[in-house]
Amino acid sequence: MPSPIRFDGRVAIVTGAGGGLGRGYALELARRGAKVVVNDLGGTRDGTGHSDAALAVVDEIRSAGGEAMANGGNVADYDQMVDMVARAKDAWGGVHILINNAGVLRDKTFAKMDPADFEFVVRVHLIGSAFATKACWETFREQNYGRVLMTSSSTGLFGNFGQANYGAAKLGLAGLTKTLSLEGAKNDIRVNTIAPTAGTRMTEDLFPKEAFDAFAPEKVAPGALFLVSEDAPTNVILGAGAGAFQASYVTLTPGALLTGDDLSPEGVAAHWDRITDRAGEIVPKTGAEQAMTIGRLLQQP
């Protein structure tokens, strides 16, 4: 086994940390030496209401001998995220880790979904994660160190009936990760994505009791903490649930170059098997690689 992963001297912010996955991340970060900002607006899973959830987690951390502060800021309000970061820096001198975990659900089929519910879910998950990350970004650059974890979902990566708003936001987060991992590289800012499957209040009516217990949030936390550790990779999409961990990739097939009469809708249909043949597919590291693969096709005799 490698050396124990510790977070001594690090300051971590975990959004949506009043319960479920976020609480698990916050407790384990603190147990391993981090000072933790426990952020939670405290609403129900549809984003309404308030509670003292963050304070309860802070009390747990302090009772175990750790350091933590509560923050009730709304991730969808940029000024509140800036204030959260400023308070952490005033108290502890910096911010080194951000886990974007806050989220809501307003599930309905797209046909029945109110546009306001679509916008609200995207705003909390995608825009909220962007706001929290932006509030930390300059600090990360000044320190030449930062670790960011976005929370995607199998719904975003692969689709799920009745979750168009949630899926759109969650795949957007994977895309945000890919660009920020490139922009942050020169300042040792590593950005990753986790796609958890866990028994939380967001999923309590989806799992039978036995499965709910098997998919405890504590079984996701090891993957999350590795992805925000000093030796973390960057630009990874990690699936996690019930102690199982999986890597997910966006790939690109070699494709086919169509010319003449084949450069038509009918030609695409005729060559569909070749276009979608996965033999020799790649995992691009940047968007430019798509144009590069086309260039190679153009150079073929």
Catalytic annotation, residues: 166
- Backbone phi, psi, residue 55, to 5°: -60, -40
Judge contact between 215 and 154, C-beta under 8 A: no
Q: Please, which residues have CB within 8 angstroms of residue 11's CB and are 6 or more apart in sequence?
A: 34, 35, 36, 37, 88, 92, 93, 94, 95, 96, 97
Going by C-alpha positions, the residue among 40, 25, 143 that lies closest to residue 93 is 143
